Structure 1
Amino acid sequence: MSDWQEITGGVTAPRGYRAAGITAGLKPSGLPDLALILSDVDAIAAGVFTTSHVRAAPVDYCRQRLQARGSARAILCNAGQANAATGEQGWKDALASAEALSQVLKIPADAILLASTGVIGQRIRMDALVSAMPQLVAAASETGSDAAAQAIITTDLVTKSIALETTIDDRPVRVGGICKGSGMIHPNMATLLAFVTCDAVVSTPLWQQMLSRAADKSFNQITVDGDTSTNDTLIALANGQSRTAAITEMGPEAEKLEAMLTAVCQYMAKSIARDGEGATCLIEVQVTGAPDDKAARQIAKTIVGSSLVKSAVFGRDPNWGRIAAAAGRAGVLFEQDNLKIQLGDIQLMEAGQPLDFDRAAASAYLKQAAAGAYLKEDTVLISVSVGSGSGTGKAWGCDLSYDYVKINAEYTT
């Protein structure tokens, strides 16, 4: 039983936040493309970013700002142009974006964090962005989370948001989030943007530690296609407006807050994997019996990222050999004789040996998951045990369909 409940409101569910999403003319499609998340007061800020050596200008910008300041008032996100591989001019565009918003909000430019998504190699359409700033700020409201979620998506088929509430010091504390991502998704991080708001009072170092651990159990455990993006950004703000006592070290209250933060991140991570480009179902791999949790997560991530496993799921083929092969190449030592594999409730392998199973029933299980696409019933569950160790881990992905190739073959055309 969790210590929290789901509520409405996304990033504006926590106290002291407003958000907006508008059409600024950045996307050729004419769809919403500029989002703002705004805290009424300075908020403690933490971030996790792409590990790619080819990074978008907003990624380097945010890293610098977080290191120098550790707090923020606003997050500005544009969709349509990634501002990645844009050289010195891309960096200047990032600075100019923050400056343009700061003039309208009348806050320091270094209190603004940035994110971009879209086609790599394309600069932001700066004239359109700058001229839209007054409209964007005017649109910011305590009910603006859905509009912001709509404005950050690209190839996503659905918007993605969540908010949870718990009680600390007999007062409600909330965490909300919105994210985008559908393709170019792979651990460390992946083309995903995720923004989290919280109204707890928490110290800067602890908030960063919490977010990093939450990312390891969520966004770093999803994969759609094995490609890591240039723009991956996860930013979390905590503005203290719940008026609870300050959380400065680990203890019961910190553990409760971190568990809720992790739950928000896992919900968003799964929603991204579920909405993978061309996907028909979500795949969840659960691994037990590993030497430790890190090893279990590594095995799970390898299985869910296997193109052969993903293709078999799309073909509704219960090909357990591909699961076993992926587990074996995950880089974690285990005895083959201890390997156990299960698809839903159907046992496929025990003690390293194949079992007789109802192939028609297993295929029907896969078909049933595809029929529930975009619903919570769409999950294909693969359970793997590799021994008697204490390590457990999960990873999420999606099947690999014909449409994935079509979507990405035509991405810039």
Structure 2
Amino acid sequence: MLKSISSVKIKGKTLLVRVDLNSNIQNSKPVVGARLKEHSKTIKLFSSKKAITVVLAHQGRKGQEDFVSLKNHLPLLEKLIGKKIFFSTWAEDFKKKISSLKEGEILLMENTRFLDFESEEKTPEEHSKQPLIKDLALVSDAFVLDALSVSHRSHASVVGFIPLLPSYSGPVLDAEITNLDKALNFQEHPRLLFLGGAKPEDSLKTLSFFLKENKTDKVLVSGIFGELFLVALGKKFGKKDEFFESKGFFSLLPEIKGLYEKFREKIVLPKDFALDKNGKKANISVEQLPLDFISKDIGEKTIQDFSKEISKAKLIVFNGPPGVFEEKAFSLGTKAILKAMSESSAFTFLGGGDTGTALESLGFSSKQFSFVSLSGKASLNYLSGKKLVAVEELKKAKLELK
């Protein structure tokens, strides 16, 4: 059982708060997205309760274009929270800065991944021996983990404070776990799982868990994942087969075929596709495969079939768009499926990552669904029955805030 910070008096306490401010970067500047908006609410809440809030977060990965300073995020956070926020690099005397903060004030620390040791996968005890982690703990009263999206990583700023400080879950993490558990333990029927996107390895793990543990009554497979089902059953896509092979996806075919043979009555396959035919959109049926053109979306008949299944469901767990929604001509499938879910009275749980991007770009609001996760990989791991290391460590945390 997670201990939530919501049940603790935090006035005058210095909180180390690990959030996820990772954002899309355009012209070296972050774009305000769902993570920034939701985690800024947590920071604002703690400040309003007169806690001293020290914010820990990362941006991008070393070597990537989005690996930038969190100083770029400062004006956006100040606008969202409505007050001045202090900033510190790791080279500065951050202990002195933290100790001088007054009740309700906020300090944003520099990108945690600027620290060489941050991304090392070590145990909480190993990370807790790092001098910088010790220094931060010395000037803090408690640690709060608010981001599910980093909870599958045993990184220094995610788990390193748990052996040293009273440690709690924050409101965003609480909401994520509550809704994930609701989706996994839903009792009303029919229950529907929708899997798409471009990461079939992750989708396969979730599918396997849901089918073997009887967590779903129907599964709609789309995107690359749905296409691989057809390949496993002997279909050739033609030109796209080269792409499947280059990505190593053919290694997934035996498991996909085994699941289909065992659970075929539950799995609904695509019947047609939209493809790019010399710059023009064309709709083709599965029977017309293989082709010299690339499929980029589910077709009109598949949209109808999938929408009908969605309309009957009491639970819909959605992860991964069915097509290349970034291209307007091939956004129809994703838009139609999201529209069908938004009009449903079912409990709708949407995974993060590309799904969140699709919602925003296609004009949907998270308020049109029961819950939209901020996390991609971590939520899929949870939905696959895996334990998230940081969540498990938080459950074991023994120290209490006095």
Same-fold call, TM cutoff 0.5: no
Structure (1 or 2) with the larger CA radius of gyration: 2
Normalised to the residue count of structure 1, the TM-score between the two structures is 0.28
Q: Which has the higher helix share?
A: 2
Normalised to the residue count of structure 2, the TM-score between the two structures is 0.29
